[in-house]
Amino acid sequence: MSENPIPTTVFHMLERQIGRKILAILDSSYGFEGTLAAITTEPPGIWLSEAKATVLRSTIARPIPQVVSREERSETFINLNSVQRIEVLHEQ
């Protein structure tokens, strides 16, 4: 099975976000939220500290997925091959 390598520009973008809170969405209803601690190229992935597993839900009235629950995790490694979207969260 041949997998396309992740472009290096993705790693450069992620390196600029180290120390910031991000939300990594794995599928339409599940993701992880935490502080971006490190990035690895082999295997391609990110390490989150103070991570939380999140459940996302959307409805017809609210089509943009919203976080409906969080479960505490500690340090979490996420393989970038399984990530659909990464959002940088701004402090409020």
The tens digit of pLDDT for each residue in 25-61 reads 998 899 999 999 999 988 999 999 999 999 999 889 9
* Host domain of residue 48: 8-87
- The answer to the question of residue 33 being in a domain is yes
State how many domains the chain has: 1
- The answer to the question of residue 54 being in a domain is yes
- The answer to the question of residue 66 being in a domain is yes
Angle value at C-alpha 37, between 28 and 79, nearest 5 degrees: 40
Q: Which amino acid is at 47?
A: W
- The answer to the question of residue 32 being in a domain is yes
pLDDT at position 1:
46
CB atoms within 10 A of CB 22: 20
Q: How far apart are CA 90 and CA 61, in angstroms?
A: 25
Burial 27-44 (b: 16+ CB within 10 A, else e): eeeebbbbbbbebeeeeb
pLDDT at position 74:
86
Q: What average pLDDT does this structure show over 69-83? A: 92
- The token duo for 92 is 């409020």
pLDDT at 3 over 70: no
- The answer to the question of residue 1 being in a domain is no
- The answer to the question of residue 27 being in a domain is yes
- The answer to the question of residue 92 being in a domain is no
- The answer to the question of residue 46 being in a domain is yes
pLDDT at position 47:
95
pLDDT at 67 over 60: yes
End-to-end CA distance of the chain: 44
Which CATH number is 26's domain given? 2.30.30.100
